[in-house]
Amino acid sequence: MQWFAAYEVVDGNGRRTLGIADTVTLGDRAALLHARITAPRAPWTCGARTLRFDQPLVAGILNVTPDSFSDGGRHVDDPAGATAAGVGMLAAGAALVDLGGESTRPGAAAVWEGDEIARIVPVVERLAAGGALVSIDTRKAGVMAAALAAGAGIVNDVSALLWDDRALDVVAQAGCPVVLMHSPDPKGGGHGRVAYADVVGEVFGWLEARIDAVVAAGVDRARIMVDPGIGFGKSLADNLALMNGLAAFHGLGCPIMLGASRKRMIGALAGEAAVDARLGGSIALALKGAEAGVQLLRVHDVAETVQALKLWRGWRDRALAG
């Protein structure tokens, strides 16, 4: 699909819009960004499953925790029930299930590695046995290794492989795809607040440096996805700026994941505090991401998001066809 017709150049002297043909005059940096933006994103082969990034995909959020901010306690100590929930997400149109055994909400209690493994491995095994693609949402190298051995295909780390010093080696040796999320304090809980002068530029720079470090350690750049970290150590204004600047992250040359489902910014903007009453806002943010070319939407409400994307594709394809 075509996502861009022009670039917006941002520098200390202000903003201006240039046609694509004009970018040849912008120098080596612009040429690099142009190459990253326009290059097709290579598909991910994960065992028998392949993810193609020519259309936005949906990842269903499945937590087996007692304290996750949205669905904590629903599937804890119930591998069969959690598996059934994951199968339901796939049947509703999810491309994969993103499984977590430790809450990353502000103030959540830390979970011992062994307990986290005990929570997630039985679910990974059941889902993988049925042919599902599972990503494991964890910061711990031991959990990553156990989940991959049980059949998971992707690592999704909110600390971008910084929280656990062993994590980078696990991912590099496994050769699996990895999602690197921005966090202002990846060695902490991920929610330390920072005052940003230019949140889009600073998050972009942080992710670019992290990609370079991960690639230098032996991870294939084509197996890396980035997540700007909506809601992690960012104010409402920061989150809005990131949503409006999502397209800029294509300049990193990696697929983009957006995890904004049921986040606090929806309640702040809509005046709705209840987490389970944020479906409309979650879909609005998902469609905003799709319009910006985000390749993977991490959501709680799979069926509703998939339906919204089908309509979005329909009117978009018809508009492009004239």
The CATH number linked to 311 is 3.20.20.20
Given 263, 313, 316, 318, the catalytic residue: 263
3-state secondary structure 198-246: CHHHHHHHHHHHHHHHHHHCCCCHHHEEEECCCCCCCCHHHHHHHHHCH
Residues 27 and 135 in one domain: no
Instruction: Given the residues 15, 298, 310, 313, select the one marked as catalytic.
Output: 298
Task: Indicate if 25 and 159 belong to the same structural domain.
Answer: no
pLDDT digits (tens, 9 = 90+) for 184-231: 988 876 556 789 999 999 999 999 999 999 999 999 999 999 999 999
Do 281 and 174 sit in the same domain of this protein? yes
Does residue 17 share a domain with residue 138? no
pLDDT in tens, 157-194: 999 999 999 999 999 999 999 999 999 988 876 556 78
Residue 188: its pLDDT value, please?
Answer: 74
Cα separations (Å) of 274 from 235, 259, 287, 302? 19, 18, 21, 19
Weakest mean pLDDT among 10-14, 54-58, 302-306: 10-14
User: Do both 11 and 71 map to the same domain?
Assistant: no
- Whether residues 56 and 112 fall in one domain: yes
Alpha helix positions (H), the chain: 28-38, 79-91, 113-129, 141-150, 167-174, 199-216, 236-244, 264-270, 279-291, 302-321
Mean pLDDT, residues 308-319 taken together: 90
pTM: 0.90
User: Do 17 and 152 have their domain in common?
Assistant: no
Whether residue 35 is found in the same domain as residue 103: no
> Residue 39: phi, psi to the nearest 5?
-70, 135
Residue 156 has pLDDT above 50, yes or no: yes
At residue 86, the pLDDT reads: 98
Claim to verify: residue 155 and residue 281 sit in the same structural domain: yes
Task: Give the structural domain span for 223.
Answer: 47-321
CB of 251 within 8 A of CB of 37? yes
> Structural domain tally of the chain?
2
Clarify whether residues 297 and 199 are in a common domain: yes
What does the pLDDT average to over 136-162? Answer: 98
Is there a single domain that holds both residue 239 and residue 132?
Answer: yes
Q: How confident is the model at residue 12 (pLDDT cuts 50, 70, 90)?
A: very low
Tell me the chain's radius of gyration from C-alpha atoms: 19
Active site residue 298: yes
Q: Respond yes or no: is residue 140 known to be catalytic.
A: no
279-286, long-range: CB within 8 Å, 24+ apart, which pairs?
Answer: 279/304, 283/308, 285/243, 285/258, 285/260, 285/261, 286/258, 286/260, 286/261
If one compares 81 and 322, the residue with the highest pLDDT of the two is 81
